């Protein structure tokens, strides 16, 4: 697993054992994304891992089914994790999501004080982490998580492409 800087250069590397575990969590997020697609939602899945390595919360997009413009997988997972964690600050927790977060989700991730953000597919259109506004690089951003992108990118991008191709 590698971290991609805002310039696209890969930096840093995690151990093979650590990378394998990260891949398993992203595989779980992909299952959630597929559930979203089956419901007609944009296929995005997210989960929050506690500081002790346990699954704290999970979610998939529920914008349409929940009649909620903020029903993004990341937002829903953060809400559920905060209730279970007993705090609005998820210090030490990690977030896995199948698509690069948008600006709204990046702000929520920052406010929740997420330790590490792992995402699969890059989103050049509405992503706000490595693309677009690059929210965590802004001077006004309160908290910057460690960011690791491209984990399981091919599978996540393929799911999104097939989902949107079927609707055109």
| Residue partners of 113: CB distance under 8 A and separation at least 6 | 89, 90, 91, 143
74, 100, 146, 153: which one is catalytic?
Answer: 74
DSSP lists the bridge partners of residue 4 as 10
Nearest-5° Cα angle at 54, 52 to 55: 145
Cβ pair 134, 6 in contact under 8 A: yes
The backbone torsions φ and ψ at residue 15, rounded to the nearest 5 degrees and listed phi first, read -65, 160
Cα→Cα distances 13→4, 10, 148, Å: 10, 9, 10
Enter the DSSP assignment of 129: S
Tokens of residue 36, six digits:
């979203």
Question: Is 41 part of the annotated catalytic residue set?
Answer: no
Annotated catalytic residues are 74
């Amino acid at each position: 697993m590698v971290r991609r800087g805002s310039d696209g250069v890969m930096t840093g590397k995690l151990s093979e054992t650590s990378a394998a575990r990260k891949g398993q969590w992203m595989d779980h997020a992909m299952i959630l994304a597929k559930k979203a697609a089956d419901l007609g939602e944009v296929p995005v899945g997210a989960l929050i891992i506690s500081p002790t390595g346990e699954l704290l919360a999970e979610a998939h997009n529920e914008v349409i089914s929940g009649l909620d413009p903020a029903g993004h997988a990341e937002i829903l997972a953060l809400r559920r994790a905060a209730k279970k964690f007993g705090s609005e600050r998820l210090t030490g927790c990690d977030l896995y999501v199948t698509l690069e977060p948008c600006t709204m989700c990046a702000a929520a991730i920052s406010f929740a004080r997420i330790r590490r953000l792992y995402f699969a597919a890059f989103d050049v259109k509405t992503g706000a982490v490595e693309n677009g506004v690059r929210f965590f690089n802004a001077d006004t951003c309160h908290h910057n998580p460690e960011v690791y992108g491209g984990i399981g990118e091919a599978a996540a991008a393929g799911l999104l492409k097939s989902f949107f191709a079927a609707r055109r």
